[in-house]
Each structure stands twice: as structure tokens, then as C-alpha cells.
Structure 1
Amino acid sequence: MSTHSHQARNYLASLLETKSLDEFSQQLACNSENLPPKVRTSRRFTISSVEQQWQLLQVSPETQANLLDEQTRSHLASYHHHIENFIGTVKLPVGLAGPLRVNGLFAQGDYYIPLATTEAALVASYSRGAQLISEAGGCSAMVLNEGVNRTPGFAFANLPEVGIFLAWVVNQQDEFKRCAEATTRYGQLKEMRMAVEGNHVYLDFQFTTGDAAGQNMVTIATEAICNYIRDFAPVKPQYAFVEANLSGDKKASVQSFISVRGKKVTAEITLPSELVRKRLHATPEQMVNYWRMSALGGVLSGTIGIQGHYANGLAALYLACGQDVACIAESAVGVTRFELTETGGLYAAVTLPNLMVGTVGGGTGLPSQQACLEILGLAGTGKARAFAEVCASLVLAGELSIIGALASGEFTRAHQRLARCAK
């Protein structure tokens, strides 16, 4: 995170044109005087409590009405378990992409995909890719693995204590499973791994979480295991934390990339050359040439995985369908591969090892988000794996469309036309 000296010098010179260093120092100094009223924390709220929050803000009635409209007021009870200090809702435009034909282990059929975004050209691009896939008979999609992990950390005085602790831990997995699964109807402890760094021990617990994304579920289950360890371990840790940042939660990590976090899914399709030319205005050879150069560009820039823009489609779908949008940091990681077939067609595949998705729990029960899941036919129990396969298929559609646009030279023109970019 270094900065070149000439950039720092130029930046300092531009600042000193307006104020002296002493004036900037005074401006940056801490000052706890005359603080405004605190936001009053509320988890269950009424119109009266919401109005009290608005009294803190010096805004126009029109501004308040844009966030707290009549529909939001009528759905007030829906938000109790999803947010604190509630003041209203933000509306995002939702567009429809598709149809997208998916031939998966769990997702079978034609899907119209609701995407919530403020980025012009995004829905059009994904819709173009989805229609191309459907016209070719649909893509194949497969959930390969699943698991959500939580990684508590324990500190000991020295390595001998670490050894005693680990010798005890390896024989406690049945008890850990009992403790964890007593906290949930759906979560199951499947695996445990151990990592040692000096006098620190990390235990990596991996769970399946049913149809929920499951982060809260595995946290509560892991806390139960930690309590058991504090009560019964032959040597007590000096201190411990329920999550010691080894899980990869809400961040891209090599560990998750080579294993799984959430659901690992792959999707593929083989496209005839004529269809690629007709719908993407590029040849399969141009597409593969672009993919090859962009793959090397990804290596040179040090990205985890090689892909074009997974985050675009996933973020829009996550917003629409009530997923934890922060999980895009880990979900939008994977590998795209394009190859020429023996007949001159295009083989395309995507693999995503970290899809954190669910069809129950979290934001999936909110009115608008549940409506979007219902559009997909994927609301409720028994649908999470199908939803994950639809996510991967959507990503494949987006990769085909954007690489087609870049390979054919249409990328900039499309954004100028649809986003009305300023010249």
C-alpha cells in the first residue's frame, strides 16, 4: 500500500495551496465537545420509534417520504428481525433477464431472473447471455460440494499445552457434534480441521446448513462447542474467540477458492459457431483469444481465480433475492474457461467454489425479496441447491455476453448507448 514519492509530493503541494500544515493538524485533531444526540438503538420498532429517529435528522419532509413511504409503513413488522434503528427502505430498480434454461442436478427449467441494480447495460447484457444459452438448449449445472465453516482460535502459554489440547480435541468430535447440533434443526457438523501457529490453535468446523446461507447458524453452533471446550478441556486456553479469521467469511481467500465455502457449483455449455456469430457478433476464435489474454492479465494482476465480472450478476441477484450482499466478496470468485471445440464451436465453463446463498432465513422473507424468489420459483425450503445452480448459470451468461462484447468491439458502444455516458 505504498505511494510513489512524486505522487505524495504533488498531493501535499495541492493541499498546501488552501491551508497550512498547522491548520490541517488542528482540523484533524480529535474533539469530543458538543456531540449531537446519540441514535437510540431499537430492534423492535413502531411508527413512533421510527419518527423519533427521523427527529435527529434535519431533512425535508420530501426526503423522509422517499425512505418512509406508505408501503414501507405498512410492512413495518417485516423488518423487525433484519435491522436496527430503522428509518425506511431504499428502492432499487429491478429488471428481468432471460429466459435462462438450466439443466442442473437440482435446477431444471426456464428461469426469468430478477436483477436489482442501478448500473445501466447490466440487465441487458445478462439477458443477452441467458437467451443465447437457452437458444443452444440450456447449460448444464451441478452443485459439487457444500459447507459453511467457522474457525474459533485458542491461545495457550506454550507448545506443550498446545500438544495436550490437540491430543484431547481429536477424540472429542462426537461431543462437538452433539453440542453444535443441539443449537439448530438444520445445521450438521461434518468436518473438523486443525491448524497450529506457535501457541495458537485454530479449529476449522465445517457445517451443512440446509436451505439457509447459514452464517448465523454456524456461529451459534460453534459458540456451543467453544463453551464445551472451556468447561472440559484438560488445559484451559488463556483466551479464545469464536471466529479467528481463518474461515474466509466475507473475503476472497485462497483457502476457500481451493475448497468450498457455501456451495461449489460449476456450469458449462457448448455453442455452435453460427450461433455465437449471430448472437454475439464475434467468432469463437475471437472469444477464446480474448479469454486467453484476459486470463494472463488476471495472473499478472494477482487475482484469485480468473473471471470477467461475476460480481455484477451476483450482486444484482443477491440484492433482488434477499441474500447477504457482503458475501459477494467471497462468492464472486472462480474460474471461467473458454475453448475451441473440434468443430469450431465454443466451449464455455464457470466454476464458483464460494456461493453463499439460501432460500430461507435472512433477507429471503422480506416482501420484495420473497417476491423475486417466487418469480424464480425458488422460494422456501428444498430450493437452495437449485438456486445455487441458477446463480452459476447466470454467471455463465454474463461471461459469454461481456466477452462477446469485448471481442467484437461492442463493449464501449453498448455502454454509451444504454448508460448514456457523458462524452
Structure 2
Amino acid sequence: MIDNSSRFQPCQIDSVNTDDARPLDLPASGRLTPHLVNKRWQQITQPEAQAALLDHQTEQTMMTYQKNIEHFIGTVKLPVGIAGPIMVRGQYAQGEFIIPLATTEAALVSSYHRGSRLITAAGGADVMVLREGVTRTPGFAFDCLADAAQFITWVSQQFHWLTSLAERTTHHGKLQNIQVEMEGNHVYLIFEFFTEDASGQNMVTIATQAAFDYVMNNSPVTPRHAFLDANLSGDKKANSHALRHVRGKKVTAEIHIPERLIERYLHTSSDAMIEFGLMANNGGQLNGTIGTNAHYANALAAFYIACGQDAACVAESAIGMTRFERSVHGGLCASVTLPNIMVGTVGGGTQLPSQKACLDLLGLHGPGHAKALAEVLAATCLAGELSIVGAFCAGHFTRAHHKLAR
């Protein structure tokens, strides 16, 4: 708590001649202290913005953000809604879950709520974590192919030593393998880590740096130049490689839905949804889309923001495959596969007050829950696919947005 002596007073704007106005002189330090926050607002001199961004609650709790932000001036509040409950039958997540979603897009939470109720009514989604791994990919440029080949021969003999060096930097990360990619006189080393319950991107960066430094200091062939990451990791970018492999957690979910429930909840038929899926797949191919899905990004962005994940990872997490087909039991079989779910239940933004509260609503905060969180998120994406495709097939998509966007 902050005592009254450190309370922030709204800044006053003096009437000044703009020709004489001085440029902003913000504090050089990005640290979060009451003194530095006050100095920043003295420079900004916009009391209405200060009142909105640095309200009383934010002022009282702002030190909880000191490990997550630089040059802090306040917080932005987003509305959070809940969808569900959704029944998940996973390897790690089992039972009914309430899904917190932070968004400003009207109709989004209602859509996921409808899909979640449909999944629960049909007995729940079967979900499975297929693979895990977070990558960092140093790149090395040599003068010629012969030097590159010699480097590869040497580095392939260093796996155990590089593993030891990398794992000394973390209590939780484990280096699973190092793959080598050669492109002319360029060599890429693909370090793939298991990161337990952390999303793990900072962990992987620090661990790879230790191995990278060893390679640079000990390689029998000196690279012309080298970089810690040479863009082969796919970090925060949609990429076709990850569609067949993994970055984060690769998860698949499936549901078999009787025809009567399709009619009751979505007001359409399984035949219409299958036909829509075929046409949408063709449209995605014509558009050059990586994977085929209706709107994974909506669930991912709202879920990541609510639960303290790295929202920029939606760029890669939103690729994947949605498929509709006739169920062997009659009705609809729907499935989703997401190869790049980047979530954690420890570290990062998961410790912040609102984000921890959302993870607590799920019952998935803290160690031991990251795989379950990924399974719940995959099931949520499945719910969204069912709902939005049902809306298109029933002709309700525009009507719902007119109604809910007020």
C-alpha cells in the first residue's frame, strides 16, 4: 500500500504560448517507483488522461506491475465476460470450466457461450496435447560452404555440452533437441525446449544465449557474423512450418454432436455446416491462408489478455485446422488442431491481480496446470468454430451483430 503522502495529484495545465512550449523531458529510467510515475505525469500534463489511467485502485496496486512494464503511467481496463460452462474431457483438463474472455468486440462472448453450451450438451469435447516445444534459432553466416559444413560437423558433437550450459540458466527448462538447417553458407541451429508450466519465451532466450556464447567462443570456424535468433523460430509470426510441428503446445479437440442438438442450439443442419466447411477451405486456399479456421484469433486474443498471456503470440497461435465431417454416429463430427498454443500458468503476466483472478476462475493458476489450460483453450476455439459456422449457415451472423452491437 502507498501512504497518503505519495498520493498522486492531477497535473494542472498552465496557459502557455505554444511557441515557447518545451519538449517533453521524460525520466530516463524505466523503473516503476511512485516518484518516477509522478514525474512522467508532470511532463504529460493531461489530468483527464491521468485520472483514467492512474485511478485510485491502480495507484494502490501499481508495484505489482514492476516486473512487467517499463515507463509505467497506469493501467487500461477491458471488460471481461464469461462463456460456458464448457465440458472438457482432456488428458489434463477434466470437467466443466467457466471461460473468461477480455474483449471490446460485441457478440464475441455470446458466440463462445453458445458454442460452449452446445459442447456441454453433447457430452463434452475430447482434447489431447500432442506435443510441446518452444524454439529459438540462432543463425551463423560463413565465408563458404566448406566452412559451414565444418561448423555443422563440430556443433553436432556438442549437444550434451550445449544442453548442460543451457539448462544451467533455468530450474524448469529442458533442451529437447537441436536441429540443424543449412541454406548455402548460412547455418541455423533450432534449439527446442520443454518449458513446463511457463510459456517460456524469456526462459528459452536466456538459455539459448548461454549456448550461443559457447559456440561463438569455441567454434573451430569463426562465423562472418551470427545472431541469437535468425527468424526460423516463427516467434510471433504465422508460419507454415509450425502447422506440422509445434511452437508452444500442439493440441487437438473433437466433438460428436447429434443432429437434434445442431438444430436446437445452432438452428441449422450438420449437412449445411459440412458444406460451409468445404467452401471455406477452398476460400482459404485461394487466399493463401496458412491452415484453415474461422476465427481462432478471437478466442485466443480475448483469452490471452484475460489470463495474462503474451497477446502478440496470437499471430502464430491463430494458425490451425478446423474440420467438419459426418459423424459415424450420425450428426456432426467437428475437430480443431492448434499447433502453436503459447500459454503458461506461472510467470509473465499470470501473477498480475486481474489476470490471476481469471486463471483462478478456471482453477488453473500456478504450477502443474499449463497443459490443462492449453486443452481448455483448444476446446474454447472449437466452441467458437461451431458457433460462428452455425451462424453463417442459419443466416444469423449479421443479425446477431446488429442486435448485440446495439
**SS of equivalent to 1:205:** strand
Distance 1:42 1:82 in 2: 15
2:66 to 80, 84, 92: 80
SS at match of 1:119: coil
Contact 1:321–1:370 (CA<8 Å) still a contact in 2? yes
Q: Aligned to 2:73, what secondary structure does the other structure show?
A: coil
Aligned partners of 1:39 and 1:85 also within 8 Å: no
Corresponding residue of 2:39? 52
Output one character per residue of 1:81-125: Cα deviation in whole Å (capped at 9) or x when no partner.
Answer: 100000000000000100001000000110001100000000000
Q: Is the 8 A contact 1:103 1:138 kept in 2?
A: yes
1: distance between equivalents of 2:149 and 2:79?
Answer: 56
Preserved CA contact (<8 Å) 1:41 1:84: no
Separation (CA, whole Å) in 1 of partners of 2:90 and 2:203: 27
Letter in 2 for 1:366: L
> 1:123 maps to which residue?
109
Give the counterpart of 2:345 among 340, 347, 359: 359
Q: Hey, what's the Cα distance between the residues in 2 that align with 1:226 and 1:201?
A: 13
User: C-alpha root-mean-square deviation of aligned residues, in Å?
Assistant: 1.2
Which residue does 1:8 correspond to in 2?
Answer: none
* 1:386 pairs with one of 372, 381, 402: 372
- Secondary structure (helix, strand or coil) at the match of 1:75 reads helix
Alpha carbons 1:151, 1:203 under 8 Å: kept? yes
Secondary structure of 2:43's aligned partner = coil
Could you tell me how far 1:191 is from its partner in structure 2? 1.0
Deviation of the 1:311 alpha carbon: 0.3
CA distance in 1, matches of 2:27, 2:330: 64
1:207-246 alignment runs, 5 A limit: 207-246=193-232
Which amino acid is 1:103 matched to? R
For 1:39 and 1:255, the matched residues in 2 are separated by 43
SS in 2 for 1:412: helix
Equivalent pair of 1:126/1:401 in contact (CA under 8 Å):
yes
Structure 2 counterpart of 1:382, which letter?
A: G
1:39 maps onto 2:26 in alignment: yes
Question: For the Cα contact (< 8 Å) 2:299–2:380, is it kept in 1?
Answer: yes
**SS at 2:77 equivalent:** coil
User: One-letter code of the match for 2:38?
Assistant: E
Q: Are the aligned partners of 1:187 and 1:209 in contact in 2 as well (CA < 8 Å)?
A: yes
The alignment partner of 2:148 has SS state of helix
- Report what 1:103 is aligned to: 89
Whole-angstrom distance in 1 between the partners of 2:272 and 2:225:
57
What 5-or-longer segments of structure 1 have no aligned partner?
A: 1-33
The answer for the alignment partner of 2:8 in structure 1 is none
**Cross-structure match for 1:15:** none
Shift of 1:342: 4.3
Q: 2:158 aligned with 1:148, yes or no?
A: no
3-state SS of the aligned residue for 1:218? helix
- Residue 62 of structure 1: CA displacement? 2.5
Contact 2:27/2:36 (CA < 8 Å) preserved in 1? no
**How many correspondences in the alignment?**
386
Deviations 1:210-261 (A, max 9, x none): 1000111010011000111122111121221110101000000011111000
Whether the aligned pair in 2 keeps the contact of 1:177 and 1:189 (CA below 8 Å) is: yes
Secondary structure at the residue paired with 1:55?
Answer: helix
Answer whether contact 2:255 2:333 (CA < 8 A) is retained: yes
Letter in 1 for 2:41: W
* Residue segments in structure 2 that go unaligned for 5+ positions in a row: 1-20
CA distance in 1, matches of 2:295, 2:312: 16
CA displacement at 1:343 relative to structure 2: 4.7
- What's the offset of the Cα at 1:77? 1.3
TM-score, normalised by the number of residues in structure 1: 0.90
Distance 1:343 1:147 in 2: 35
With normalisation by structure 2, the TM-score equals: 0.93
Aligned to 1:410: 396
Residue 158, structure 1, aligned to residue 138, structure 2: no
Q: Deviations over 1:134-161 (max 9, x none)?
A: 0111100000000000000111111111
Summarize the Cα distance change of 1:346–1:355 in structure 2 as closer, same or farther, 3 Å threshold: same
Q: Sequence identity, in percent?
A: 57
Report if aligned partners of 1:141, 1:393 keep a CA contact under 8 Å in 2: yes
